[in-house]
Chain A
Amino acid sequence: MATFEFLLQGLWVAAQPMNLLYALIGVTLGTAVGVLPGIGPALTVALLLPVTYQLDPAGSLIMFAGIYYGGMYGGSTTSILLNTPGESASIVTALEGNKMARAGRGGPALATAAIGSFVAGLIATLGLAFIAPYIVKLALVFGPREYFALMVLAFVTVSSAFGDSTLRGLTALFVGLALSVVGIDQLTGQARLSFGVPELLDGIEVTTLAVAMFAIGETLFIAAQGEKGPDKVEAVRGSIWMSKLDWARSWKPWLRGTFIGFPIGAMPAGGAEIGTFLSYAAEKRLAKHPEEFGHGAIEGVAGPEAANNASAAGTLVPLLTLGLPTTATAAIMLAGFQQYGLQPGPLLFATNPQLVWGLIASLLIANFMLLVLNLPLIGLWVKLLTIPKPWLYAGILMFATLGTIGANPSVYELGMLLAFGLLGYAMRVFGYPIAPVVVGLILGPLAEQQLRRALAISQGDVSVLFTSPIAAVLLVIAAAALIIPLILRARGRGEVLAQLAANED
């Protein structure tokens, strides 16, 4: 029962009045920013990172937990009321949720999304708390070569397993990896790819890259689409409460969505979208009234929304226990940890248990706060949706640059922001995914370190990478994840994978 004790201790840390306040601020800010159209959780976390700079590590990570969950919830509000999902994981929610809103049932749609998110968040966070110690134990037997194999697997799943093109996914990944080499080599102290520019010696900031690619790239892309007529915000008409029938139709999809979403998020295999699609398909098959799907079936909101939140909590399992980010959001959270010199992984559980368990406990608290906060404040969130585009994007760019200036007020850093923003824009135009660049940049140095350690131990013998059974299995899975989609696409079955594109989670 050690887990239970740790969790109680964590709850005690998280329940300190100041930490509760941080969680509340995080949840509110996260929801407010997440609600804005075009902003997914990854960008929400990246934009709000500077707000946490001045806090102590515990407080800032607790605020972070709130921002993360709040951003997830805000995204679903946008997709129900606006039909322009701010994140790929909310696409499915938009399918049924927006239809419900048009039919005047926006209230129950938002309610089932909120309560489903709560149920899923609760179960999945508890799942995280109970599974994490076992994975930490497992991770302790991992040597450099197993870690390297694990990271190769993460690289493959993030970049090429899903999405519409292996080529473009891998290209995005290797652009990120190339950027990750810039700066002083961690093991020998030699400067690489810095071309004598002192600012490049520190390498490229993950947050600068993420904010530039997601915020500035997206803004430029939206601006370049020109006038397309305003998106219509569905007003919330009628009661926001769910009827007895709604409850009866929702609770099973919540649970099913949770149990579909959590394992998918917890595996080092990419984003939350896959879980939402699977959950939607499952609900459609199991529903008593399958003909309602496509016309606003409440099961189609309840299930995917629960799956979405459950896999969001699930991605924290590899992030906290192995230090392995599998989504762009997780990559930015890893950057958040690193700004305090904390490296998530099995060691963090040993050296800083209070912090880790405080974080896990505050996820639970943030989850409760979201439930209490969201239904009454729905009117406010709807108002945020109606901000006209020019002011909205002007504000987004203001905050995007604010974060960079706050971290490093130099002309040089803003130049990087602009350059990567243009890169992000160009990549969007040509259909390249963005997330692999961010994951490549942050995981690149870690993977290199493990590879070189493994090869140093073996005195340069490459075969050592394949001879450990765990590493061999992981590499075989990685190879399969690379090759099978290639074959599927070559045979013209790529549409399924394109739908599962892990674009902006």
Chain B
Amino acid sequence: MTKGLNPSTTTRRPDRAALFIAAVLAAIAGLIFWDVSRLSGAAGYSQVGPTTVPYAIACCLAGLAVWTVFAAFRNDFPEREHQEISPVIWIVAGLAAQMLLLNVAGFSIATGILFALTARGFGKRKLWFSLPVGIALCFAVWVIFAKLLQLSLPAGPLEHLFF
């Protein structure tokens, strides 16, 4: 917070990412206002109803958005380390693939793909190795959790082959 008082830093450009965060906070506040305004005012005679707390939260979020704008102009946010984007994309792709394949291919195959793509994100490039390993591991996990602990994990072709 002392940075703003330091004349040498006041010439720096505002933190764009922080301004974006402020915009997102303001948007969430607006979304709450918009949604809650449609609720009928079932507040009764106490003037307190389902809309009171959401309004309060939205007001605070709007206030925090303004505060974030100030922080952005004063460059109050900590230095951000360099982020590698490609590992993040690999892992997000793995999670998305699992999400979409889960009910079609069953737990073992879908989660095996997640496993292999996560390992890929961390630098294990040999998918021909990690994919079978992942699927085998997930199948073992499926047997333990779905059969022994009776958790409802979706079964697919691979699971139906054995059970």
- Residues of chain A at the chain B interface (Cβ within 8 Å): 50-51, 53-54, 164-165, 167, 170-171, 174-175, 177-178, 181, 185, 187-188, 190, 192-193, 195, 216, 219-220, 223-227, 389-391, 393-395, 397-399, 401-402, 405-406, 409, 411, 414-415, 417-418, 421-422, 425, 429-431, 448, 451-452, 455-456, 458-460, 489-492, 494
CB nearest neighbor in B for A391:
B119
CB nearest neighbor in A for B21:
A430
Given A165-B76, A405-B102: A220 in contact with B151 (beta carbons within 8 A):
no
Q: Of B17, B116, B120, which contacts A430 at CB under 8 A?
A: B17
Contact A174 B64 (CB under 8 A): yes
How far apart sit A460 and B41, CA to CA, in the bound complex (Å)?
Answer: 14
Q: Of B25, B88, B116, B145, which contacts A402 at CB under 8 A?
A: B145
Q: How many A-B residue pairs have CB under 8 A?
A: 201
CB nearest neighbor in B for A455:
B48
Q: Which residues of A contact B100 (CB under 8 A)?
A: 411
Contact B111 A193 (CB under 8 A): no
Q: How far is the CB of A460 from chain B (nearest CB, A)?
A: 4
Given A181-B54, A415-B99: A390 in contact with B85 (beta carbons within 8 A):
no
Against A, the Cβ 8 Å flags (1 = close, 0 = not) of B61-77 are: 10010011001000011
How far apart sit A177 and B91, CA to CA, in the bound complex (Å)?
Answer: 28
Contact B87 A223 (CB under 8 A): yes
Contact A192 B95 (CB under 8 A): no
How far apart sit A430 and B85, CA to CA, in the bound complex (Å)?
Answer: 15
Query: From residue 16 to 60 of chain B, which have CB atoms closer than 8 A to chain A?
Result: 17-18, 21, 25, 28, 31-32, 35-36, 39-40, 42, 44-50, 52-54, 57-58, 60
Q: Which range contains the number of B residues in contact with the other chain?
A: 35 or more
How far apart sit A164 and B76, CA to CA, in the bound complex (Å)?
Answer: 11
Q: Of B46, B52, B58, B121, which contacts A459 at CB under 8 A?
A: B46
Q: How far is the CB of A468 from chain B (nearest CB, A)?
A: 18
Given A390-B118, A414-B95, A430-B21: A398 in contact with B141 (beta carbons within 8 A):
yes
Q: How far is the CB of A380 from chain B (nearest CB, A)?
A: 19
**Which label, helix, strand, loop or mixed, suits the secondary structure of the A interface?**
helix
Contact A459 B94 (CB under 8 A): no
Given A417-B95, A430-B21: A390 in contact with B124 (beta carbons within 8 A):
yes
How far apart sit A225 and B102, CA to CA, in the bound complex (Å)?
Answer: 29
Q: Which residues of A contact B53 (CB under 8 A)?
A: 181, 448, 451-452
- Residues of chain B at the chain A interface (Cβ within 8 Å): 1-2, 17-18, 21, 25, 28, 31-32, 35-36, 39-40, 42, 44-50, 52-54, 57-58, 60-61, 64, 67-68, 71, 76-78, 80-85, 87-88, 90-92, 94-96, 98-100, 102-103, 107, 111, 114-116, 118-124, 130, 134, 137-138, 141, 145, 149-154
**Which label, helix, strand, loop or mixed, suits the secondary structure of the B interface?**
helix
CB nearest neighbor in A for B112:
A398
Q: How far is the CB of A449 from chain B (nearest CB, A)?
A: 9
> Which 6 residue pairs across A and B have the least CB separation, nearest first?
A223-B87, A390-B122, A460-B47, A406-B151, A414-B99, A390-B119
Contact B54 A425 (CB under 8 A): no
Given A393-B118, A406-B151, A430-B80: A174 in contact with B111 (beta carbons within 8 A):
no
Contact A494 B1 (CB under 8 A): yes
How far apart sit A491 and B94, CA to CA, in the bound complex (Å)?
Answer: 46
- The CB with the most chain A CB atoms within 10 A, among B76, B81, B107, B121, is that of B121
Contact B78 A431 (CB under 8 A): yes
How far apart sit A393 and B163, CA to CA, in the bound complex (Å)?
Answer: 29
- The CB with the most chain A CB atoms within 10 A, among B35, B46, B85, B103, is that of B46
Q: Which residues of B contact A175 (CB under 8 A)?
A: 28
Q: How far is the CB of B81 from chain A (nearest CB, A)?
A: 7
Q: Of A225, A414, A452, which contacts B81 at CB under 8 A?
A: A225
Contact A192 B39 (CB under 8 A): yes
The 18 sampled A-B contact pairs (Cβ below 8 Å) are: A53-B151, A165-B76, A171-B25, A185-B50, A187-B50, A188-B42, A193-B36, A224-B88, A391-B119, A394-B116, A397-B118, A402-B141, A405-B153, A406-B145, A409-B153, A431-B80, A451-B53, A492-B2
How far apart sit A304 and B1, CA to CA, in the bound complex (Å)?
Answer: 31
Q: Which residues of A contact B46 (CB under 8 A)?
A: 455-456, 458-460
How far apart sit A421 and B91, CA to CA, in the bound complex (Å)?
Answer: 11
Contact A409 B60 (CB under 8 A): no
Q: How far is the CB of A408 from chain B (nearest CB, A)?
A: 9
CB nearest neighbor in A for B18:
A430
Contact A418 B122 (CB under 8 A): no
Q: Which residues of A contact B76 (CB under 8 A)?
A: 165, 167
CB nearest neighbor in A for B107:
A405
Q: How far is the CB of B110 from chain A (nearest CB, A)?
A: 9
A177-B57, A225-B84 provided; 5 other pairs, C-beta below 8 A?
Answer: A167-B71, A188-B50, A193-B54, A405-B154, A460-B48
How far apart sit A157 and B94, CA to CA, in the bound complex (Å)?
Answer: 37
Contact B85 A224 (CB under 8 A): yes
CB nearest neighbor in B for A405:
B153
Contact A224 B87 (CB under 8 A): yes
How far apart sit A357 and B68, CA to CA, in the bound complex (Å)?
Answer: 46
CB nearest neighbor in B for A451:
B53
How far apart sit A190 and B42, CA to CA, in the bound complex (Å)?
Answer: 9
Contact B50 A223 (CB under 8 A): no
- The CB with the most chain A CB atoms within 10 A, among B32, B52, B64, B138, is that of B64
Given A223-B91, A226-B84, A425-B88: A167 in contact with B68 (beta carbons within 8 A):
yes
Contact B35 A195 (CB under 8 A): yes
Q: How far is the CB of B40 from chain A (nearest CB, A)?
A: 8
